[in-house]
Amino acid sequence: MNPRRPVRRGRLPLSLRRDPVAWERQRPTWREARPAVIAQALKRAQARPSGNWFVVGATRDVRADRPLARTIAGREIVVWRDAAGRLVAGPGVCPHLGAPLRDSPVRCGTLVCHWHGLALSGGPFAGWEPLPAYDDGVLAWVRLDDVGGEPPLDAPVVPARPATARAVSAVYVGVGVCEPEDVVANRLDPWHGAWFHPYSFVDLTVVDSPAAAGRSGARTEAGADADAEAEDEAAATREDGFVVDVSFRVAGRLVVPVRAVFTAPEPRTVVMHITEGEGKGSVVETHATPLGVDDRGRPRTAVVEAVVAASERPGFAVARRMQPLLRPLVRAAAGRLWRDDLAYAERRWQLRSTGRFPG
């Protein structure tokens, strides 16, 4: 979108680009995309509390008949629903002789080890200790205090979202050879959008970004009362955003112009809120979960991206009913972007880990 032309909400969400600019003729963004601005935004994100919560995956992927499994920071984790429907989590190693519980079935809320039948109902049993789990309605989280090393929080820092009853949600999961900070740094560089993903984004302008210095971040002095701290945190998060005007390319010259704000509410999450234009109130949450190292000693990180889309348009009720059809499309679109963005994150890690990163 051209910043001189404000977003207009017409009857239809689509706009026709009047004077399309060829890819190579668009305005270079590298001067504005100052490495120090991105680095400082990343540093502030890393200073915010996560309470040691890690995203495991999509709530929808926690099925009735088998656990959702993920190795997080080298620890095998399984997540399932107990007989009461509550999300439970714990180590994915059977306490008897070590069977991989990721391959064990769930029967009536009980995880039954497929080697000798040890049954876990979600409570401590035979040396198996549950881990704190949290279901936010879209994503499943687990708390790993020994991995996070921060003071624990009762619940994860879940971004504000449109009410799920009125939204379409889809979750994409990808894995790259990099660390969570490389994924977060990619998302805190909105300037690459129209250059690196011209098939999805055009006419991108970053209309506001946090200064490289001068904003000290979200943390208050130890001892400040909790309410004041929460208020400061909220204010800092509001301020500490990248505001981007961009058009999503639908086909050819047909685009959907929006204004989006990127913030990092915790060290491993970047949220894009659509604040103007079609889908106002929708969010795209990118969560980075460290998986551990591969057989060459390189770090692997999962990207769990939740799209929670809302719209006031009457046709959106139909879209909601079509969610099972829409989800694969949303995941495919995210997958295409993340093929490139993981290449960016992996490149960043390669350069960092060999002392060649220019930023």
Site residues for Fe ion per CB under 5 A: 341
CB-nearer residue toward Fe ion: 240 or 341: 341
Does position 62 bind ligand FES by CB under 6 A?
no
Closest-CA residue to 341 (of 188, 122, 145): 188
Is the CA virtual torsion 125, 129, 92, 96 positive or negative? negative
**Partner from ligand FES, Fe ion, none binding residue 115, C-beta < 5-8 Å depending on class:** ligand FES
CB-nearer residue toward ligand FES: 76 or 232: 76
Does position 107 bind ligand FES by CB under 6 A?
no
Residue 117 C-beta: closest distance to ligand FES, Å = 6
Among residues 34, 60, 66, 96, which is the contact residue for ligand FES, using CB under 6 A?
A: 96
210 contacts 241 by C-beta, under 8 angstroms: yes
Residue 190 C-beta: closest distance to Fe ion, Å = 8
Among residues 77, 88, 94, 173, which is the contact residue for ligand FES, using CB under 6 A?
A: 94
Among residues 45, 118, 170, 206, which is the contact residue for ligand FES, using CB under 6 A?
A: 118
Is the CA virtual torsion 51, 55, 58, 59 positive or negative? negative
Q: Residue 58 and residue 256: Cα distance in Å, rounded?
A: 27
CB-nearer residue toward ligand FES: 94 or 255: 94
3-state SS, residue 357:
coil
Q: Residue 116 and residue 52: Cα distance in Å, rounded?
A: 33
Q: How many CA atoms lie within 13 A of 317 on its CB side?
A: 1
Does position 254 bind ligand FES by CB under 6 A?
no
**Partner from ligand FES, Fe ion, none binding residue 341, C-beta < 5-8 Å depending on class:** Fe ion
CB-nearer residue toward ligand FES: 126 or 293: 126
Strand partners, 68: 79
Helices (H), the chain: 35-47, 145-148, 180-187, 193-196, 226-239, 316-321, 323-353
Does position 99 bind ligand FES by CB under 6 A?
yes
Closest-CA residue to 29 (of 185, 188, 195, 182): 195
Among residues 58, 113, 183, 184, which is the contact residue for ligand FES, using CB under 6 A?
A: 113
Q: Which residues of the chain form contacts with ligand FES (CB under 6 A)?
A: 94, 96-99, 113, 115-118
